[in-house]
Structure 1
Amino acid sequence: MSNDSAAVRRPSIYDVADRAGVSHMTVSRVLNGHPNIRESTRRRVMDAIDEMNYTRSSIARALATNRTMRIGVLVDGPGQYGPNSALRALETAARERGYAVSAFSVADDERQGIDTGVLDLVTQGVDALCVIAPRSSSLALLRQQSTGVPILLVKEEPDAGMHTAAVDQRAGAEAAVRHLIDLGHREILHLAGPLDWFDARARAEAWRNCLEHAGLPVREPEIGDWSSDSGYEFGRTYDFGAATAVFVSNDQMALGVIHGLIESGRRVPDDLSVVGFDDLPDARHFLPPLTTVRQDFTELGRRVMEALLAAIAGDDGTERELIRPALVVRSSTAAPRSR
């Protein structure tokens, strides 16, 4: 490959690490002026940067601005569709702005997960931290950490001392419940996600507020764990009484709810209408195809990256407009049948 061809591809911190024979974390420490680096190692890294600096690369910019051009991301619930999609969208938006992303999944042991994750990411010399799908318990632990970098939370409520960006969870839930009310449903149940999650709490609060505003009865929500299995148990065993519809806090649980309802002899939407949240790629292929709330994760990734760049540049946390989700109406909802 000629030098001209090689110049087309911008060298990354990993390329420099390979050339210098060190880890990418060592390159980050060199770029941040970490004192506990051997001079011989520092020299190898700097030589590798010089050798590979064919263009105004992210490494060159890091040296000029004392930045690593890397964002650290703590992810609660990385196996769930919403957090995983938000992470993928942020990675895409970051690449477009010349940044890389280092992600750390928070373990079930929240204290260990938060402590280990913050240490791991900050040690890499990240320019900022983003927390995707935070829980109230993990956020409380994060507040005890001293990171030295800006922190952004993917949650809709403003948070003192931290930046935020999010999809409007309440607006999405309100659209789902209003759709059911407009169809004529008068007793609408809710299968919530774990209420330690800010998103689950916002959806549950919006469901309750919609029913109360319409003067409709409110049963306490049932609590699932985001999985299809928890939705299945709800659909198969719950005493639905006079209820004719259920708003489910995510599509995975909605899939289980439909399965459980059918197995218990009920039909969707003839006996119960079901609405989910997220618009999984497969939601249109559920039987019946699922009415749900679509979150624009691409736009979320772009907004998060914009807010992170502003925070890195010294923005004090300007309040930003929430992203409006969209209701997608399919065949799992219909007007209630007279009984």
Structure 2
Amino acid sequence: MPPRRHQEDRSPSQVDVARLAGVSTQTVSRVVSGQDNVRPDTARRVLAAVEELGYRVHAAAASLASGRTRVLGVIVVSTDRYSSAALGVGIQQVAAANGYTVTTAAVADHASTEAFLEAFDRLERQGAEGIILGVPVELDSPAMRARTERTPATRSERSSLDDDAPLAVDQRAIARLAVEHLLDLGHATVWHVSGDDYWIETQHRIEAWEQTLRDRGIAPPPLIPADWTPESGYRAGRTIAAIPDVTAVFVSSDEMAFGLIRALHEAGRSVPDDVSVVSVDDIALAAYASPALTTVRQPFEDMGRAAALRVIAKIEGHDAIGEIPSTDPQLVVRSSTAPPSTAR
């Protein structure tokens, strides 16, 4: 049955809901704010009246009444990378399921620590009850620690602010999975195209790439730096194409790998017949590249869900409000890797 049209087409109020349900306005307020000190049958009557009338809670009024905003803040780096969007999807899903809204503060790429502090302060002024630091950059400072002590906060990436967080993807494990896969195929060594050195994950992957090679008794070849963009991957691919003995490359993002493979094809180097390529992220296009990319999947949406669950648990004052998703990286083997041609 469609909602009743209200007199003079005005929006229904708590008084209207209370009248239809046969309860007091205080009872309506307790039900719509999620309080549990209402009889189940009474709560059902109130919710039925809410649905029939099309009553909607006014967020500002509810905040004044309860003393809570039910707002989560998220600090992100302003970028068009897939990871930021996917992380946000996971945060939004958990927030909506638990009665929270999300507000975001974006800072420029390569921003100073002061810019992140200003973003944190801005979210606090907007009423954020908890803040997710969705930025894989180093933010360990006395000023940031003071803020995370006064407002519940958590990280979506591992850092010294939250070393024991189980929700972070182990970036060193990503590099080990990629390099060991190529070495196990029989390649004598693995070259590495790194991401922007502003990001913590870049350094962690470089360290693990070097260590994994040394553990196999292999001296790491020269690092090829890039900046996450397909253009930088293309430039790295031109460099790789000019080195005849390169047979395997670990590229630090799928998007850079697209550019690198294009450069190799233009130079007459076949993937994977001449050069095997492993990348990172497993974005939606990775499976449809030519060839389909072997990549290490990062569960970005699960990272967002896990971060939101953690910060809401801190706000609500208990250990957890749901099962924290696994954020272990996973090697996805497709067509861009193969044993070296000499082995074949």
Pairwise CA distance, 1:334:
0.5
Counterparts in 2 of 1:313 and 1:153: CA distance versus 1, 3 Å: same
The match for 1:28 is none
1:200-230 superposed Cα distances (whole Å, 9 cap, x missing partner) = 2222222222111111221242221100000
Match of 1:264 among 264, 267, 285: 267
Cα distance in 2 for residues equivalent to 1:228 and 1:173:
20
Write out aligned runs for 1:72-83 (5 A). Answer: 72-83=73-84
Is the contact between residue 155 and residue 164 of structure 1 (CA under 8 Å) also seen in structure 2? Answer: no
Q: Quick one: which amino acid aligns to residue 334 of structure 2? A: R
Pairwise CA distance, 1:163:
6.2
The match for 1:226 is 228
TM-score by length of 1: 0.75
The match for 1:85 is 86
The match for 2:157 is 155
Write out aligned runs for 1:145-184 (5 A). Answer: 146=147, 148-157=150-159, 159=161, 165-184=167-186
The match for 2:216 is 214
Is the contact between residue 163 and residue 311 of structure 1 (CA under 8 Å) also seen in structure 2? Answer: no
Cα distance in 1 for residues equivalent to 2:170 and 2:336:
23
The match for 1:42 is none
TM-score by length of 2: 0.74
The match for 1:336 is 340
Write out aligned runs for 1:301-312 (5 A). Answer: 301-312=304-315
The match for 1:192 is 194
Pairwise CA distance, 1:154:
1.5
Q: Quick one: which amino acid aligns to residue 304 of structure 2? A: G
Cα distance in 2 for residues equivalent to 1:141 and 1:117:
16
Larger deviation: 261-270 or 236-245?
236-245
Cα distance in 1 for residues equivalent to 2:303 and 2:108:
24
Cα distance in 2 for residues equivalent to 1:95 and 1:77:
23
Write out aligned runs for 1:1-339 (5 A). Answer: 2=3, 54=55, 62=63, 66-108=67-109, 110-111=111-112, 113-136=115-138, 140=141, 143=144, 146=147, 148-157=150-159, 159=161, 165-238=167-240, 239-314=242-317, 323-338=327-342
Counterparts in 2 of 1:140 and 1:262: CA distance versus 1, 3 Å: farther
Is the contact between residue 91 and residue 307 of structure 2 (CA under 8 Å) also seen in structure 1? Answer: yes
Pairwise CA distance, 1:83:
2.0
Is the contact between residue 302 and residue 326 of structure 2 (CA under 8 Å) also seen in structure 1? Answer: no
Pairwise CA distance, 1:305:
1.6
Larger deviation: 66-75 or 154-163?
154-163
Larger Rg: 2
Counterparts in 2 of 1:160 and 1:80: CA distance versus 1, 3 Å: closer
Cα distance in 2 for residues equivalent to 1:161 and 1:192:
23
Cα distance in 2 for residues equivalent to 1:164 and 1:312:
18
Counterparts in 2 of 1:4 and 1:337: CA distance versus 1, 3 Å: farther
Pairwise CA distance, 1:121:
1.2
Q: Quick one: which amino acid aligns to residue 331 of structure 1? A: S
Larger deviation: 325-334 or 62-71?
62-71
3-state SS of paired residue (2:183): helix
**Structure 1: tracts of 5 or more residues without a match:** 6-10, 12-51
Is the contact between residue 157 and residue 164 of structure 1 (CA under 8 Å) also seen in structure 2? Answer: no
**Structure 2: tracts of 5 or more residues without a match:** 7-12, 14-52
Pairwise CA distance, 1:172:
2.4
Q: Quick one: which amino acid aligns to residue 327 of structure 2? A: I
1:87-123 superposed Cα distances (whole Å, 9 cap, x missing partner) = 1221122111111111121114613632442232111
Is the contact between residue 78 and residue 84 of structure 1 (CA under 8 Å) also seen in structure 2? Answer: no
Counterparts in 2 of 1:255 and 1:119: CA distance versus 1, 3 Å: same
Give aligned-pair identity as a percent: 36
1:293-323 superposed Cα distances (whole Å, 9 cap, x missing partner) = 1122332222112111122134699xx8962
Is the contact between residue 3 and residue 54 of structure 2 (CA under 8 Å) also seen in structure 1? Answer: no
The match for 2:50 is none
Q: RMSD of the alignment, in Å?
A: 3.2
